[in-house]
Amino acid sequence: MENRPVPRFACDAMLGRLARWLRAAGYDAWWRADVTDQELVRLGRCEGRFLLSCDTDIFQYAVVRDGVVAALRIPNELRRDEQLAFVLRELRLEARTPRCMACGGELAEVPRDEARERVPPRSFAWAEQFFACRECGQLFWHGSHWQRIASTLERARSGEGC
């Protein structure tokens, strides 16, 4: 297996859903709804982020065109559910530990007793493990929503789309 650095992404304004799914797949994916092309290119250059964009204009910036800032154009014809599969396939990305889908922060396990007050009683009764985002504090556990997320990620990894 290759020993290459794990890419960190910056997604254009049209790729908010892709950013969330990349986070679920375990990747640091920055996104903001009002980002301009210039800001995105600057972020890619200053932070070494890999740009993901549907906007062909961004590929005209010299630093992107010449490969100084790595970028991948997401074809406009792809449905939202196909974008994740496309990125995983094109960049040969492997499964990683999930990140917070809301902000992209790393997740850390939380002792069950500490989660009690923040979890609905019915969920707390059956869930054994809880995770909190180190950035925004959002709490997660492997419920039915996680089963759907895991299924979506597996389809994307197998190239079926989401």
pLDDT per residue as tens digits for the range 109-137? 999 999 999 999 998 999 999 999 999 99
* Helix extents (H) in the chain: 16-24, 37-47, 62-65, 80-90, 112-115, 121-126, 144-157
Judged against a pLDDT cut of 80, whether residue 1 lies above it is answered with no
The two structure tokens encoding residue 15: 């790729």
Give pLDDT, residue 2: 56
Exposure on the CB side of residue 61, measured as CA atoms within 13 A? 21
**Residue, of 58 and 150, whose pLDDT is higher:** 58
Number of H-type helices and E-type strands within the chain: 7, 7
This prediction has a pTM of 0.86
Q: What is the overall mean pLDDT for the chain?
A: 90
Closest CA to 105 of 128, 139, 156, 72: 139
CA distance linking residue 53 with residue 72, whole number of Å: 7
Evaluate whether 22 touches 30 at the Cβ level (below 8 Å).
Answer: no
CA distance linking residue 75 with residue 30, whole number of Å: 19
**pLDDT band at 161; cut points 50, 70, 90:** low
How do the domains of the chain map onto residue ranges? Answer: 9-99, 107-156
